[in-house]
Amino acid sequence: MYPSENLYTREHEWVRVEDDVCVLGITEFAQHELGEVVFVELPEVGQVFDTGDELGTIESVKAVAEIYTPVAGEVIEVNEAVSDDPELLNEDPHGEGWLIKIRFSSASDLKELMKADQYEEYVKSGEA
Amino acid sequence: MHGCKGKSGAKGVTAAGSFFLDSRDSVFAHRGEDRFQMAEAQTLKRTPLYDCHLEAGAKMVDFAGWEMPVQYQGVIDEHRAVRTAAGLFDVSHMGEVRVRGEGAEAFLQRLTPNDVSKLVPGRAHYSGLLTEQGTYVDDILIYRLAADDFLVVVNASNADRDYRWIADRANGEDYPAPTIVTNESDQYALLALQGPKALEILAPLATSGIGELKYYGFRQGEVAGLPALISRTGYTGEDGFELYVAPEHAAAVWRSLVAAGAVPAGLGARDTLRLEAAMALYGHEIDETTTPFEAGLAWVVKLDKGGDFQGRGALLAQKAQGLPRKLVGFEVEGRGIARQGHEVVSEGAAVGKVTSGTWSPTFEKALGMAYVPPSLASLGTRLAIDVRGRTLPAVVVELPFYRRPR
């Protein structure tokens, strides 16, 4: 279920590293727990964030979740398609429902993240 | 994603999530107040329909100490099923208090603001339990089963407190005797079948003549061959029925209704439906700080029904002085959802508070209700709502948002 080429946070984001850029989204587990997403609030291209900064919010009918970036860097692209059609987050969170691309300034942040099997274990353990 | 931090729900739950979130609450963390206690800290009660919920793929959550289905396939689909066909809710967590005896009518007339003398056997009415200040202990339904026999239906979150509230006052100095008050919450399971197709689904399974029941009328009868109190009431803004059955019969009645086409619907859809219909929810629009007048529920208060009743003096005074605030409906005009607890702001100051807010599946926009000063309560007034530090524009609109076509 969780693509092995991605890295995962304890807060249920995934990142895929493409050279010096991270593509970031939320996991299948996260979308399932949120339920039907109706609004997505994303940052502007060009905004710069520190590790752990809030990038935006996701609202479902019943819940609000904040998205935090696990890496520091500059936003180079946001997925306008999910703003227009938030259901993409429920339908394909690891694919079409990606959220932003961020050019990261240091790779050291990535060491903190989980691999797919570790994340799956983490979700199953009930600590999530 | 910050929202997914925190503890998951009760053991043995298929999945867990929180319900009625505040802006900063996490998706999993249950609210600190008593209605939403941490699942781990206590044993959650289960209704007789627990297994039916798991079979239907429910996501179970802690609601007022009960392990309840928040959704099955999805809130939006369940909401639309109720608006266009028929949904089936388990509301067995509601409490039932029986009030019987020669003094029962006079007691309830003295205890509650609506006029119990007008309530004939076979009819129910909406009322409240009020403090001496005229504020809500709870909102209730009173069923008149017979001349001297009433069933008072109360919210799950307040059930024990309400029972004590009623029992402590019966046979007291202020009230005529004798009255017998018993907590019968464990003796009833409660199913709500709601939607334009509710009658079509229920009629072939039930005692004949249920189509003649008026809104807020009820009768004793059978559903699927099992005894039931069949009541034409609900909390969705649709036509529908609430079925009070013995706990051991609940699953059979549930299954027969689902087999006949009713769609299981969870507390998530129940909340979006009642909000569109602008029905008050205890802990949101009404609580111990709000009066029926402020909540737009003046019609339950019969000041001139004859004699004193609990809270009457305070309500008379409020009527004379004017209201400090009013409940209004609003539509959000930007992207985002104003939710319970968000502040209505004016010229930089907080002037009111959102009591409920959601994304509306019927209107496909964010709607809500809020208390505001009377000066901001007229239709068309522009409001600003502080949603997590961002100001969302909203406009005051008429309540209810949704009225069923007749």
Domains of chain B are 2-91+188-276 (3.30.1360.120), 95-187 (3.30.70.1400), 325-406 (2.40.30.110)
The per-residue pLDDT for range B224-278, each reduced to its tens digit, is: 999 999 999 999 999 999 999 999 999 999 999 999 999 999 999 999 999 999 9
| B positions 301-340 inside 8 Å of A (CB) | 335-337, 339
Please say if the pLDDT value at position B14 is more than 90: no
Please say if the pLDDT value at position A29 is more than 80: yes
A32 contacts on B by Cβ (under 8 Å)? 15
Which tokens is B37 given? 């206690």
Q: What is the reported pLDDT for B292?
A: 98
CA distance A126 to chain B (A): 7
The per-residue pLDDT for range A40-67, each reduced to its tens digit, is: 999 999 999 999 999 999 999 988 999 9
B62 contacts on A by Cβ (under 8 Å)? none
The partner residue sitting opposite A33, judged by closest CB among B4, B23, B272, is: B4
The partner residue sitting opposite A36, judged by closest CB among B5, B27, B74, is: B74
Angle value at C-alpha B201, between B74 and B84, nearest 5 degrees: 45
Q: How far is CA A7 from CA A11, A24, A71, A101, B234, in A?
A: 12, 10, 12, 14, 48
Q: What is the reported pLDDT for A108?
A: 87
If you measure CA to CA, which chain B residue comes closest to A33? B17
Q: What percent of chain B has pLDDT over 90?
A: 85
A95 secondary structure, DSSP code: T
B28 contacts on A by Cβ (under 8 Å)? 33, 128
Q: What is the ipTM of this complex?
A: 0.85
Please say if the pLDDT value at position B35 is more than 60: no
Q: Assign residue B33 a region (left: φ > 0; alpha: ψ between -120 and 50; beta: otherwise).
A: beta
CATH number, domain A7-104 = 2.40.50.100
CA distance A19 to chain B (A): 23
Structure confidence at residue B304 as a pLDDT band (50, 70, 90) = very high
Q: What is the reported pLDDT for B172?
A: 76
CA-to-CA distance for B267 and B254, rounded, in angstroms? 16
The partner residue sitting opposite B15, judged by closest CB among A33, A39, A68, is: A33
Q: What is the reported pLDDT for B24?
A: 33
Which tokens is B203 given? 């009629």
Q: What is the reported pLDDT for B62?
A: 94
If you measure CA to CA, which chain A residue comes closest to B60? A33
Q: What is the mean pLDDT of residues B145-154?
A: 98
Q: How far is CA B174 from CA A33, B177, B305, B312, in A?
A: 51, 10, 17, 14
Structure confidence at residue B284 as a pLDDT band (50, 70, 90) = very high
Question: How many Cα atoms occupy the beta-carbon half-sphere of B118 within 13 Å?
Answer: 11
Please list, in sequence order, all residues whose beta carbon lies within 8 angstroms of the beta carbon of residue B206, skipping any fewer than 6 positions away: B221, B222, B223, B228, B230
| A positions 23-82 inside 8 Å of B (CB) | 26, 29-30, 32-36, 38-39, 41, 54, 57-59, 61-68
Q: What is the reported pLDDT for B29?
A: 31
Reported as type and span, the H/E element at residue B274 is helix B267-276
B3 contacts on A by Cβ (under 8 Å)? 11, 30, 34, 58, 63-66
If you measure CA to CA, which chain A residue comes closest to B23? A64
Output B125 or B9, whichever has higher pLDDT: B125
Q: What is the reported pLDDT for B334?
A: 85
CA-to-CA distance for B50 and B247, rounded, in angstroms? 11
Please say if the pLDDT value at position B363 is more than 80: yes
The per-residue pLDDT for range B176-221, each reduced to its tens digit, is: 668 999 999 999 999 999 999 999 999 999 999 999 999 999 999 9
Q: What is the mean pLDDT of residues B325-348?
A: 94
CA-to-CA distance for B60 and B79, rounded, in angstroms? 17
The partner residue sitting opposite B75, judged by closest CB among A35, A57, A58, is: A35
A93 contacts on B by Cβ (under 8 Å)? none
Q: What is the reported pLDDT for B176?
A: 63
If you measure CA to CA, which chain B residue comes closest to A66? B2
The per-residue pLDDT for range B76-133, each reduced to its tens digit, is: 999 999 999 999 999 999 999 999 999 999 999 999 999 999 999 999 999 999 999 9
Q: What is the reported pLDDT for B36?
A: 37
Structure confidence at residue B173 as a pLDDT band (50, 70, 90) = confident
Q: Does B25 touch chain A (CB under 8 A)?
A: yes
B391 contacts on A by Cβ (under 8 Å)? none
Are B27 and A61 in contact (CB < 8 Å)? no
Q: What is the reported pLDDT for B171?
A: 78
**Sign of dihedral through CA atoms A86, A90, A91, A92?**
positive
Structure confidence at residue B1 as a pLDDT band (50, 70, 90) = low
Dihedrals phi, psi of B17, to nearest 5 degrees:
-160, 165
A36 contacts on B by Cβ (under 8 Å)? 74-76
If you measure CA to CA, which chain B residue comes closest to A32? B15
CA-to-CA distance for A35 and A17, rounded, in angstroms? 27
Strand partners, B97: B152, B183
